[in-house]
């Protein structure tokens, strides 16, 4: 597995000044997607592109919600500013472990139309119901990341975590037969999100990455072909008009909500 670049504070500030962090995917990258019962688990928070990026440290002011769950048991993840890797967990049981991380809202400013239109085109976002953009354009954005790991047996099922937008795996990638693909459901505001673009980053054991695009059906579901021994990052974006209160308070014109899911497929 390719290791994320560790972003020190000077590098992070330089990237933020260049706005390179804002246009890329955000995901949870465990050091391993499979672990033994009782093992200390560590995971990076990663920002980058093409399933390759920089690992971010834990900073409390940027975090809205972080937790892991085994079955019906939910545990809060805590940390200290500067922790690297950002996430550390010691689950007492075994099964399918779900990690979720929600950031606090951030914002970026587009100075020219070309960059914003490139983003809208790449993510295949519908802007017909939104006001015509004026520049400089201020966009608020929030990340909703999930990762599925197998601890011990890896038994169990994924479920909706109540994030504003998220992927739910309809089969267990570590225990179920997924030779015909892994079915996922994309959720938004508690409902399946139909006809949405889903971007899949497939990383081979030699760290090469293949990128493919899919769409959810009328039930918000999509079945993705997967390969043994490969790791996957799944990504989808909602672009919407912010509420008037948020728009006034933050000065946002538009708002984007980013859902990501990572998992590995056993060999």
Ordered DSSP codes for 75-128: EE----TT-SSSEEE--SS-EEEEEEEEEPPEEEEE-SHHHHHHHHHHTT---T
Q: So what's the pLDDT on residue 142?
A: 96
Q: So what's the pLDDT on residue 116?
A: 87
Q: Which domain holds residue 169?
A: 5-264
* Chain segment 196-207, per-residue pLDDT in tens: 999 999 999 999
How far apart CA 199 and CA 86 sit, in angstroms, is 25
Nearest C-alpha neighbor of 263 from the set 33, 85, 31: 33
Q: So what's the pLDDT on residue 168?
A: 99
Write out residues in the chain with pLDDT < 70, as ranges: 1-23
In the numeric block, which tokens belong to residue 265? 């497929």
pTM given for the model: 0.92
Dihedral sign (CA 172, 260, 198, 202):
negative
Give the total number of structural domains in the chain: 1
Q: So what's the pLDDT on residue 21?
A: 42
Q: So what's the pLDDT on residue 24?
A: 83
Q: So what's the pLDDT on residue 132?
A: 80
């Amino acid at each position: 597995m390719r290791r994320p670049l560790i972003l020190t504070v000077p590098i992070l500030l330089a990237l933020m000044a260049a706005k390179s962090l804002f246009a890329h995917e955000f995901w949870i990258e465990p050091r391993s997607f499979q672990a033994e019962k009782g093992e200390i688990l560590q995971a990076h928070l990663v920002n980058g592109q093409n399933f390759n990026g920089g690992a971010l440290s834990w900073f409390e002011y940027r975090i809205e919600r972080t937790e892991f769950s085994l079955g019906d048991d939910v545990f809060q993840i805590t940390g200290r500013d500067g922790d690297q890797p950002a996430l550390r967990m010691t689950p007492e049981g075994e099964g399918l472990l779900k990690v979720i991380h929600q950031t606090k809202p951030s914002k970026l400013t587009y100075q020219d139309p070309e960059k914003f239109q490139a983003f809208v085109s790449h993510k295949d976002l519908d802007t017909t119901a939104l006001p015509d953009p004026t520049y400089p354009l201020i966009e608020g954005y929030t990340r909703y990341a999930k990762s599925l790991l197998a601890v011990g047996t890896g038994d169990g099922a994924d479920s909706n975590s109540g994030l504003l937008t998220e992927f739910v795996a309809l089969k267990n990638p570590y225990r179920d037969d997924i030779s015909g693909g892994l079915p996922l459901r994309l959720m938004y505001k508690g409902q399946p999100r139909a006809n949405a673009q889903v971007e899949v980053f497939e990383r081979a054991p030699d760290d090469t990455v293949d990128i493919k695009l899919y769409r959810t059906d009328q039930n918000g579901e999509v079945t993705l072909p997967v390969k043994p021994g490969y790791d996957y990052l799944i990504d989808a974006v909602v672009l919407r008009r912010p509420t008037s209160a948020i728009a006034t308070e933050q000065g946002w014109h538009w708002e984007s909500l980013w859902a990501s899911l990572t998992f590995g497929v056993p060999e």
